[in-house]
Structure 1
Amino acid sequence: MPTYEPLGSERLCYATELGAQMCGDSLELLAQLPAESVDLFITSPPFPLQRKKAYGNEDQERYVDWLTEFVKLARDALKPTGSLVIDIGGAYQKGRPVRSLHQFRALIAFVDDLDLRLAEEFYWHNTSKLPSPIEWVNKRKFRVKDSVNTVWWLSKGDFPKASIENVLVPYSESMKRLLKNPSKYYQPKLRASEHDIGTAFGKDNGGAIPSNLLSIPNSQSNDSYLRLVRELGLKGHPARFPLKLPEFFIKMLTEPGDLVVDFFSGSNSTGRVAESHNRKWLSFEQERGYCALSVVRFLEGHPIGSIKQHVEAIEAGDKVFL
């Protein structure tokens, strides 16, 4: 059964064998998802910035209530072992060098009002972030660059599906030397912290356990999406996930064949990553132009003329099957 079938085909833009891009109000689309059908929601909602952006963003004053409406519907569609991962960037209060607490208030609402669990907090360090806001950082120079987003990993139950073995990172050079000759570099002992580090510490597990600080640059100026959009003479979505961010959570929290949903899909980074890892996927986006452009993520290697035809067909309201 196609992944979009429970939603109907009226809002379908394009579909692959594994997933579908839908165009419409995410509140309406989320409400149509069958109960306990989704393994992972991963999304990055518009942040409550002071200046209005082309892709739309909510005012700080009502941001938490606005976002909680979406998360409530996502919770109802989650499997008991499912997870919801939400990337929420920070912001300053209007006209003041004082931080907004919207992402923390949102987290508390998700946990206290919706009965979700905070499985773990993550922090996405965008190593290529430009200094901002200009007034406080560049001009007056009394605030540092804001380059870290909060990423909340929430779950419906205490024990969501997860495996860190799927996201191990390369060992450091010092750890590689230790693994070659553990007795030369390390002696099992009780540390001052009273952690008992035994001989298993010298075992090669195929990689190191990652931390909850994810250092991922968002500087994909030459990735296939932007390159193809430029060749089409069009302007891409201005706020894009780096592919490695959804990839980390898709690998850790799902298995092949599981369903991944992004209800603020933008340029559809999530769908592209889910497809490449053999996961089923659904992506929801309100702006048809962004939906149409996101199809280029699935058409790398196609003639530019063919890609243009696909984009124009979706913009015109046609359905494209890849």
Structure 2
Amino acid sequence: MPVPEHKFRAPRNRTITLSPEEQRLYHQGLLKLTEPLPPEALENCTIHQDSLAILDWLPWAWVDLLFIDPPYNLTKTFSSTVFKERSVREYADWLESWLPRLLKTLKPTGSVYICGDWRSSAAIHLVAEKYLTVRNCITWEREKGRGAKSNWKNCSETIWFCTASDQYTFNVDAVKLKRRVIAPYTDPKGNPKDWQRTEHGNYRLTHPSNLWTDLTVPFWSMPENTDHPTQKPEKLLAKIILASSNPGDLVLDPFLGSGTTSVVARKLQRRYVGIEQDQTYCCLAEKRLALAAQNPAIQGYAMGVFWERNSSQHD
């Protein structure tokens, strides 16, 4: 994103930005639909459009994994777009005005993840259970946030995990978390019980739960950071994509933002389609995709496992 003249960035700031020349360059690679196109014409593209305006042009039964991160139910400005807070009923009605049409893109074996917060989660659950099998609700710690004098500080968000049927992908071994062992129990011979000794310390692989406390919200010194106000961590998307898709599968994000879903899908050898109505964020996504081709690393994910936050392998 072009940096305003008054905005100073520290020398170690690694935030991804766009020069005017880059904006013009990456804009040329964006796709804009004027009619329905075959699936192969959409794959691995960033579509610069309002996703809700082109839902009926998207192929049916085409998507393996659908990641939905809609505007939450609060008043917020996203570049040139303003979303205003509604009642829970009104927010549910808004979701229901487009979600069934979007779900037509999903394969019968597909999975859906829908993001929200405490204001929107009740509505998401009510609408999702009408059309999908709701499997779980993930709570992830968003450690950023302002303190409140007369309320609890809001530092978590939710993700509803749903499937189109009882036949779906879930690769549990691909998303285990490597945690440091606090109490390293051993058997009578001194061998580790359900943990491993390594040169970095004592660790065990743990099954993934629906409480995620190992994520870091992108900030200025992280190479994935952008100026998007609600950017999701690449590590978060990696968990979802590895668990609920296989290499070569197609991942669709109809509210792409700065491109995290497409970027992580590319890094993990999945096909992707992202739809975003803001031109600057679309161009940021394209720049991040180009960077991903050069460096497929995902912070917090190394050697085939996820590491707990602030461990020696986190970066």
Give the structure-1-normalised TM-score: 0.68
Q: CA shift at 1:288, angstroms?
A: 1.5
Which has more radius of gyration?
1
Q: Which residue of 1 aligns with 2:98?
A: 70
Match of 1:104 in 2: 122
Which amino acid in structure 2 is aligned with residue 57 of structure 1? F
2:64 aligned residue: 39
Q: What secondary structure sits across from 2:138 in the alignment?
A: strand
1:27–1:69 contact (8 Å) kept in structure 2: no
2:51 alignment counterpart: 26
The structure that is strand-richer by fraction is 2
2:291 partner SS: coil
Q: In the TM superposition, what is the alpha-carbon distance from 1:182 to its structure 2 partner?
A: 3.6
Indicate conservation of the 8 Å contact 2:263/2:288, yes or no.
yes
5 Å-filtered alignment, 1:1-322, equals: 19-54=44-79, 55-61=81-87, 62-90=90-118, 100=119, 102-112=120-130, 114=131, 116-127=132-143, 129-132=144-147, 137=148, 141-174=149-182, 177-178=184-185, 181-183=186-188, 202=194, 207-215=205-213, 216-226=215-225, 236-300=227-291
**Which of the pair is proportionally richer in helix?**
1
TM-superposed deviation, 1:63: 1.8
The 1:185–1:240 alpha-carbon spacing in structure 2 relative to 1, beyond 3 Å, is same
- The answer to whether the Cα contact below 8 Å between 1:126 and 1:148 also exists between their aligned partners in 2 is yes
Change in Cα spacing, 1:185 to 1:121, as seen in structure 2 (3 Å) is farther
Which amino acid is 2:57 matched to?
A: Q
**Offset of residue 53 of structure 1:** 4.8
What do residues 94-120 of structure 1 show as CA deviations (whole Å, max 9, x unaligned)? xxxxxx4x32122112213x2x11111
Unaligned runs of 5+ in 2: 1-28, 197-202, 294-315
1:103–1:301 CA distance, 2 compared to 1 (3 A): closer
Cα distance, 1:109–1:119 mapped onto 2, change above 3 Å: same
Cα gap change, 1:213 to 1:185, in 2 (>3 Å): farther
CA distance in 1, matches of 2:179, 2:159: 24
User: 1:117 is matched by which residue type in structure 2?
Assistant: T
Question: 1:19: Cα distance to partner?
Answer: 0.9
> Residue 137 of structure 2 contacts residue 210 of structure 2 at CA under 8 Å; is this kept in 1?
yes
Preserved contact between residue 263 and residue 285 of structure 2 (Cα < 8 Å): no
Partner Cα distance (1:155, 1:210) in 2: 18
Q: Distance in 2 between matches of 1:37 and 1:275?
A: 18
8 Å contact from structure 1 (residues 68, 106) kept in 2? no
Is 1:7–1:32's contact at 8 Å kept on the other side of the alignment? no
The question of whether the paired residues in 1 share the 8 Å contact of 2:254 and 2:274 is answered with yes
Query: What is the root-mean-square deviation of aligned Cα atoms in Å?
Result: 3.4
Q: What amino acid is aligned across from residue 220 of structure 1 in structure 2? A: F
- May I ask how many residue pairs the two structures share in their alignment? 251
Distance 1:59 1:151 in 2: 19
Task: Output the CA distance in 2 between the equivalents of 1:301 and 1:40.
Answer: 20
Question: How far, CA to CA, are the matches of 1:37 and 1:53 in structure 2?
Answer: 29
Deviation at 1:203, TM superposition (A): 8.4
Q: Structure 1: where are the runs of 5+ without partners?
A: 91-99, 187-200, 230-235, 303-322
Distance 1:35 1:157, change over 3 A: same
Secondary structure of 1:299 counterpart: helix
Change (3 A) 1:203 1:124: closer
CA pair 77-299 structure 1, distance change in 2 beyond 3 A: closer
Shift in Å, 1:212: 0.8
Query: Counterparts of 1:144 and 1:243 in 2: how far apart (Å)?
Result: 27
Percent identity between matched residues is 25
